[in-house]
Structure 1
Amino acid sequence: MSGIQGKGAVVLGIAGLMAPPALALGSVPAMAVSCTVMPGPYQKQAEKFLGRPVDGRQSAADCKAVQAFQDKHGITPDIGYAGPVTWGVMDLMNKQKAVEKSPNKDGKCPVNKGRIACLNLTFQLSWIQDGGRLVYGPVPVRTGREGYETRTGLKRIYWRDIDHYSTLYNVPMPYSQFFDGGQAFHSVNLSMWNPPGSHGCVNMTRKDARRYWALLKKGDDVYVYGRKPGT
């Protein structure tokens, strides 16, 4: 979140998924919300991502699979429609997986700073490295949405508060490590792919935020680069 009081929530920042007004809805007994019978513009891509038969047609099983994915990651409306936000999340996951073994392959995060936390906004990934050695990660993160972008450049951790609480947003921000104004690494109880994103902070899972807390200290460098999709 933006501001030391701000809750951090980071994500794709893609425009909200809107189902066409003419979508016909059919019932899916296993789901609490109705499923659309119409294929979305990214039907084939979603089918391939979810391991479904790739035919571009919307079956009840396809809809349930897409809807379950939407529910898991907080994508709305969760009607099983393979629209731009749903595919945007899937596409980001594919890109993250492609670079997970060599997150700094592009060499953009400095290797002459010793221990440093790196943040690639384009791929929504963060990791800790020491010179050219990967120490931890990469891990998926949620960064600032449009209008609340996580600021780029070389930063430094200046304040840590393990039990920080946002008085601005009235939410806890465990394992907060502030590195630029009110922008910080901290944990949230949300999917790292939950749209549209934070108010500037770098959201992490509790497990990853705890590891960052253990591995980093006040004065350590943080380097932020790239541009989050949709911002």
Structure 2
Amino acid sequence: PKSTPAPDRHRPSSAPPAAPAAARVLWKRGDTGRDVRELQARLRQVEWLVDGPTGTYDDLTERAVSGFQGKRGLPRTGRTDTVTWQRLLGMSHEPGKWDLYLMGGQPAAAPDLRCTSGRVLCVSKSSRTLRWMIDGRTVSTMSVRFGSQYTPTREGVFQVYWKSRHHVSTLYDSAMPYAMFFSGGQAVHYSYDFAARGYAGASHGCVNVRDEAAIADLYAQVKTGD
């Protein structure tokens, strides 16, 4: 009988080689949530994004991801896939709570019991929020910023003793619009710097508000003695 020839081990297989698996897309334009905030915070760390994390994968985020991808020889899709994300993880560190909420937006915790009666500007350092409350009802909530470790914002129960719509600090020569003074030179007021830089900066002890429309409305409602 004829013997069967041994297969040629050097002859290439007739089957085409398997294509590499495509990277899975994690987030893309239009997505929202905490994961998108982390992506944006990490892009800020490597200087591909300037604006603070918003939690929305917008056109600025898409352009930042595309630029990051192109710089590293990856396809410039603008979508964050598993390969792009792993590369970014290796170049950045875990963002802290206030890196994720650089411009505010952290959900407010339950108000202190001292805020549940009367007319109260209920300010929380833990959630960085100000609640304007009347008889236990929250009328409005806004993000706030405080003093640095060298000029801390005082803690306790105070009363608004003076309001000054167009105030300018005589000590620091800085504008303090819609100022509502509660302890010495410390006041709740609008801050242009907070509006521009978020929690990357700090006040000289005052409670800064970055939403001008919100504090303008608040200023109109708050009375001396609140």
**Alignment TM-score, normalising by the size of structure 1:** 0.56
Q: Which has the higher helix share?
A: 2
Deviations 1:143-185 (A, max 9, x none): 1111211111110000111111112212211111100111101
Letter in 2 for 1:118: C
- Relative to structure 1, the CA distance from residue 179 to residue 67 in structure 2 (aligned partners, 3 Å threshold; closer, same or farther) is same
- Relative to structure 1, the CA distance from residue 50 to residue 122 in structure 2 (aligned partners, 3 Å threshold; closer, same or farther) is closer
Q: 1:126 aligns with which of 108, 125, 130?
A: 130
User: Counterpart of 1:115?
Assistant: 119
Aligned pairs (5 A) from 1:207-218: 207-218=213-224
Q: What secondary structure does 1:207 align onto? A: helix
Q: 1:195 aligns with which of 183, 194, 200?
A: 200
| Greater relative contact order (CA < 8 Å, ≥ 6 in sequence) | 1
- Relative to structure 1, the CA distance from residue 133 to residue 164 in structure 2 (aligned partners, 3 Å threshold; closer, same or farther) is same
Aligned pairs (5 A) from 1:74-93: 82-83=92-93, 87-92=96-101
Which ranges of structure 2 fall in alignment gaps of 5 or more residues?
1-33, 55-87
Distance in 1 between residues matched to 2:101 and 2:52, nearest whole Å: 14
- Relative to structure 1, the CA distance from residue 62 to residue 185 in structure 2 (aligned partners, 3 Å threshold; closer, same or farther) is closer
Distance in 1 between residues matched to 2:51 and 2:185, nearest whole Å: 32
Percent of counterpart pairs with the same letter?
25
- Relative to structure 1, the CA distance from residue 164 to residue 107 in structure 2 (aligned partners, 3 Å threshold; closer, same or farther) is closer
- Relative to structure 1, the CA distance from residue 163 to residue 83 in structure 2 (aligned partners, 3 Å threshold; closer, same or farther) is farther
Larger C-alpha radius of gyration, 1 or 2?
A: 2
- Relative to structure 1, the CA distance from residue 98 to residue 213 in structure 2 (aligned partners, 3 Å threshold; closer, same or farther) is closer
Letter in 2 for 1:117: L
Which ranges of structure 1 fall in alignment gaps of 5 or more residues?
1-46, 73-79, 221-231
Deviations 1:46-89 (A, max 9, x none): x9233759xxxx8x89946x5323599xxxxxxx97457x6442
Matched, 1:48 2:35: yes
